Each structure stands twice: as structure tokens, then as C-alpha cells.
Structure 1
């Protein structure tokens, strides 16, 4: 991503990508409404005039951080979905999700789940942006599983879209559990059980 535009002769005195990373962590940790301008500027290491000059409003800053997060997430999702079978794709998706939700490099859980779960009516745009990002991930999973169904790579009678919704529901539920302190090992154990359900009943 570029660093944006600013008046000639007045270069920014900060690394924009690093500052956006710190803003992402603040929004992730406190949510959109919980991350006050004072919290954001302290986390980002810049003052309010610099924040406004570089990113516009708080909402525009949130949009930037969310776009970067979702771009990285979709890249991870697409890598998982490139697996040769539906089962392997679902496993790769869920295991990568469990690992990401419990990584030490950022707050536990999921930015797109925690960023705006409880926004007031005047901030419904934030909730809608976050929901749209989750819907894009679900659409990518559903598209992959629909192709698997067409190829005969899903058990007969399985609804690809319902399966995609189940996979997303598990991943999003794991996000809530990770934020509450669940470990990587606990989430992966839950994935083990889900994969048994995906595989269907054992052959008789």
C-alpha cells in the first residue's frame, strides 16, 4: 500500500504503516467506540492534528486499518482454500484461523468480530463494514465448496452454502472464545471434532 499524499516539502515524521499497525491493535483491543482519540493517538505515537492530517476522521482511520486487516485475512483464506480437496480446504481454513486467533503478535481473537460488536446506532456503519468483511470471507468459502460439490468432492446431499456457514460460525465462535482466553490447543481440539462432522459418518 502507498503512504498517501501530503503537501510537498512537508514529509510525514512517522512510518505510516507502523502507525496503522498500532491503530489496528488499539481498535482490536478496545473496539471502535472504546478506542477514544486519546487512546488512539497515545497508541500511534502521534498527536491529533497529525492523525487528522494523515488519515482524516476516526472513522476513516478505522476504514484504513480494517482494509489492511481484511486484505491480509483474505490472502490467508485463499491460501487455505487452494487445498486440493474440500476437506483439506476446510481443515486448512479452520486450523489457520485457530492459529491466528491465538497468535502472540496481536490481541487475542478477531479484529472484525471485536471491532464493533456493540456499536451505538450512530455508528452502525462500523458494524456494517465489519459484517461485510466477514461476509466476503464466507462467500470465498462458499464458492470453494460449491466448486467441490460440482466436482463430486462433497458427500452427496451436502449443502455447500450451509457448510460454509457452519465453517464460518465455528471460526467466529472461536474468535469469541480466544478473546475470553481459550488457548490454541483448545481451539484446535474443537477443530478436530468439527472435521469429524465434515467428513460425515463412517462407512459401514
Structure 2
């Protein structure tokens, strides 16, 4: 008869999400994780395989529970509405006092924060998926006449993601929600019309 697991996996992933988000990947040790989860290293390895295996679950959880709200902006009726709502929602996320400041993925992908090639590849895949979804939505807007014909949807998607990363870093450095919202309003003055 198998022994029952003494901890809840989803709760452990939430705890790890907070630790990685707050400290970065490299500065979050196995000891930090097992202590916060209240488990032993053997239980940790049995459940997650490795720290990297746990982090992949954390990234999936973060994308589903936190970034998913920003990605819902892809359903806005206009391209400008997509950009505005996505950026405002990200500003809200990055400056939410109930969570660590900034973006979990950005915080963990900074130099010295994610040393493994596999994790860098994981970050690149997540970013590319977000860029592709945004580009596809902007291409639809362009085909419908909502963006000028001479606008490059791929470059516009890249601009939004770069702006997103900049907001995450600003929030990590103490920028408030209101400051980020004002910056979004300023950036959108350059939106193609």
C-alpha cells in the first residue's frame, strides 16, 4: 500500500511561486523550498523531480493564474484596446501589493537569476508564445482595417512585450500602479492611427 502524500501539490506550487517570484530562481534554494512547503528533500524530489521541474510547474501556474488575466485583453474589440488593456492589467499585476513586485518570469530571467540553459529556453518559449498570440491578434485587426496597412503587427507586438518587461523592472524598483498607468497612457499616445 502506497503512503499518502502529506502535502498538497497545488499549494506547494503556490508557495514556490511566491518564493521564486520574490527571490529569483538561483537565490531560491532547495532548503528554502522544502522549509516553506514543510516537506523533506526526498518528498520534494518524488513530487517534482528537481528544482527545475518544480519551476516549470510554477511558470505554468503563473501563466494560467496571473498572466492569463492580461492575455484576456486579446478579446478586446480594437487593437488599441488590446494593447491598452493588456498593459494596464500587467501594470496592475506588477504593482499589486498582494504579490512580489514585478513579473515572476522577468525576475527569474535576469542575469544571475536563472543559470540553466533549459530555463532560458523555457523563458524564450513563453515569450515567443505571448508574442505570437499578440501578433496574430494585431494581424486580424490590420486585416479588418483597425490598424494602418503600413503598420508591422510583429514589430508592434514586440514593442508591447518590451514595454511590458520595462514595466516589470520598474515595478521591481518601486514604481507604483499609478505611475505605471501614467506611463502606459504616455506610450499609447504613439499608437498607430
Superposed displacement of residue 77, structure 1: 3.6
Residue among 156, 166, 178 paired with 2:171: 178
Q: Does 1:69 align with 2:62?
A: yes
Whether 1:40 aligns to 2:33 is yes
- 2:156 matched to which residue of 1? 163
Instruction: Show structure 2 runs of 5+ residues with no match.
Output: none
CA distance in 2, matches of 1:122, 1:198: 37
**Are the aligned partners of 1:119 and 1:127 in contact in 2 as well (CA < 8 Å)?**
no
TM-score, length-scaled by structure 2: 0.93
**Dislocated runs of 4+, deviation >4 Å:** 119-122
Looking at structure 2, the residues matched to 196 and 122 of structure 1 have their Cα atoms a distance apart, in angstroms, of 38
In structure 2, the residue matched to 1:194 is 187
The answer for unaligned runs of 5 or more in structure 1 is 1-7
Instruction: Give the TM-score, by structure 1 length.
Output: 0.88
How far, CA to CA, are the matches of 1:155 and 1:190 in structure 2? 24
Aligned pair count? 193
> What is the rounded CA distance, in whole Å, between the counterparts of 1:122 and 1:16 in structure 2?
25
**Counterparts of 1:27 and 1:180, CA distance in 2:** 17
State the partner residue of 1:3: none
Distance in 1 (CA, whole Å) between partners of 2:12 and 2:45 is 13
Structure 1 residue aligned with 2:4: 11
**Measured at CA, do residues 50 and 194 of structure 1 come closer, stay the same or move farther in structure 2, by a change above 3 Å?**
same
Written as runs of structure 1 = structure 2, the 5 A alignment for 1:1-204 is 9-73=2-66, 75-119=68-112, 123-200=116-193
Alpha carbon RMSD of aligned pairs, Å? 1.8
